[in-house]
Amino acid sequence: MKKRYGSAAEALDGVLHDGMTIAAGGFGLCGIPELLIAAIQDAGTQNLTVASNNAGVDGFGLGLLLENKQVKKMVSSYVGENAEFMRQYLAGELELEFNPQGTLAERMRAGGAGIPGFYTKTGVGTVIAEGKEEKDFNGETYIMELGFVADLAIVKAWKGDEQGNLIYRKTARNFNPPAATCGKICVAEVEQIVPTGELDPDLIHTPGIYVHRIIQGEHEKRIEQRTVRAA
């Protein structure tokens, strides 16, 4: 099975469709699939539901899809750093489903593992719990959250091989591993593709069985908030 493609546009060809659900890896601007996001922008796919820890920034990352009015709903934990997101949400142009970070990560992991739902204490007694089933375990109240399954997962890794095995580097190992597993189709972008067998099996974070398509590319790797010490 051919998994390697020449560009982000080629890797997404035949996959994108209006109204689809996308799980995107990354945290802030760290480890985001920037090439695949740009290709989705170029494709003009509309009415997207995007599950991601955050919504990028103005002019970069998922912020590009927001500016292009391609996103109808975000499933996120943090939505700061993006003025256009705030404008669309306050204007009623964008739906938002808030999830605590750990809950969102576990929803993706559960979806990828075939687990339809799970119980968590996070959010009990808050607006997060509204409309959700509650159950007591050992005298503590928990709420049920549903596993998340996406039509498409897009992730960014450091190294991959031609079978789609992936290794993430340092902090980029954030939402990428759970996002990769919860997509019916997973497309990965990496900085380097090596021959099959070159990666140490003990260091692989996402097995290739989860990855359907892979591309290699150059990445900008922006810093979301640059903080320096006074001279």
In a domain, 195, yes or no: yes
Contact predicate 103/126, CB 8 Å: no
| Number of domains within the chain | 1
**∠ at Cα 150 (122, 95), nearest 5°?**
65
Side-chain-facing half-sphere of 102: CA atoms under 13 Å: 6
Q: What percent of the chain has pLDDT over 70?
A: 100
In a domain, 2, yes or no: no
In a domain, 142, yes or no: no
In a domain, 136, yes or no: no
User: DSSP letters along 10-40, please?
Assistant: HHHTTT--TT-EEEE--BTTBT--HHHHHHH
Q: Which helix (H) or strand (E) holds 64?
A: helix 63-67
| CATH number reported for the structural domain that contains residue 47 in this entry | 3.40.1080.10
pTM: 0.93
pLDDT in tens, 24-61: 999 988 999 999 999 999 999 999 999 999 988 888 99
Confidence band for 204, pLDDT divided at 50, 70 and 90: very high
Rounded average pLDDT over 167-195? 96
Least confident of 39-43, 130-134, 137-141, 225-229: 225-229
Q: What is the pLDDT of residue 55?
A: 87
pLDDT for residue 143 is more than 90: yes
Contact predicate 191/158, CB 8 Å: yes
pLDDT for residue 230 is more than 90: no
In a domain, 13, yes or no: no
What mean pLDDT, rounded, does the chain reach? Answer: 95
Full domain range(s) for residue 202:
18-117+147-216
In a domain, 38, yes or no: yes
pLDDT for residue 223 is more than 90: no
In a domain, 173, yes or no: yes
In a domain, 222, yes or no: no
pLDDT for residue 146 is more than 80: yes
Residues 123, 103: Cα–Cα separation, whole Å: 9
Contact predicate 180/210, CB 8 Å: yes
What phi and psi, each to the nearest 5 degrees, are found at residue 226?
-85, 120
Confidence band for 217, pLDDT divided at 50, 70 and 90: very high
Residue 143 token pair:
């709420």
Residues 208, 217: Cα–Cα separation, whole Å: 19
Contact predicate 60/32, CB 8 Å: no
Q: Which helix (H) or strand (E) holds 107?
A: helix 101-112
Q: What percent of the chain has pLDDT over 90?
A: 85
pLDDT for residue 227 is more than 90: no
pLDDT in tens, 64-120: 999 999 999 999 998 777 889 889 999 999 999 999 999 999 999 999 999 999 999
